Amino acid sequence: MTEEKHLQWLNRQMQTWQSQGLVDPATLARLQAYYRLRAQDTKRMPVLSFALVIIGTVLVLLGAILILAKNWSSMPRLLRVFCSLVPLLTGIGLGLYTILREKGQLWREISALVVSIGLLTAMAITGQVYHVISDPAHLFLGTALLSLPLVYLFSADLTALVYLVLVSIYLAVAAIQQSLSLGGILLAGILLIGALKPWLVLQLHQGKLQGQTLWL
């Protein structure tokens, strides 16, 4: 049970205690205030732990990249493709673990972000190996479209930001290459950014855009 669900369960129990006359309203208010403060104190540790995990993971990946870069040209094609899929498969595994274990928002953010990075890596390297992606704009557009469902599946704010960045890069590259007319760029921008409208409505409904997000 996650910390958030535990607090919800405890709050329901305290309401039951009050309805049965086991605690008075003043005691109930003190208990609720105590556990709210305790949740605020304990939520910092998971953030620090995840930050250390991310830093360690990045360092390991950088070391692996340096090793692979030295031997990249001599590696068989299928092995290069497999290496490109490792980040994506890692993200998918992390996402499944997060969903099945009903982890908190921080796990969801990291899972969706790793999958997005894995998508970009897999598409870029596979496209380079098999020469199937000649236009960089298509790489960013494809990654953005594949990352969009993750925003809603994991309710991931960071992935929504990544989506907007990828869409912006796509539109900028399309404008520089003049692969789309001005009207086409405006229409594509409206449609692609408009795809986040349900997410934006959800954030407003939950009050997240007012700094009320609780990462557990």
Domain segments of the chain as ranges: 38-210
Pairwise CA distance, residues 166 & 53, whole Å: 25
**Each residue of 49-66: pLDDT tens digit?**
666 766 776 677 667 767
Q: How many CA atoms lie within 13 A of 202 on its CB side?
A: 13
Q: What is the mean pLDDT of residues 90-99?
A: 92
- pTM greater than 0.75: no
For residue 31, the model assigns a pLDDT of 76
Pairwise CA distance, residues 10 & 174, whole Å: 53
For residue 45, the model assigns a pLDDT of 46
pLDDT category at 212 given cuts 50, 70, 90 is very low
Pairwise CA distance, residues 188 & 185, whole Å: 5
Burial state string for 76-100 with b = 16 or more CB within 10 A and e = fewer than 16 = eeeebeebbbebbebbeebbeebee
Pairwise CA distance, residues 144 & 188, whole Å: 13
Place of tokens 């298509």: 138
Residue 8 zone, left/alpha/beta (φ > 0; ψ -120 to 50; rest): alpha
Tokens for 59, please give them: 């360092």
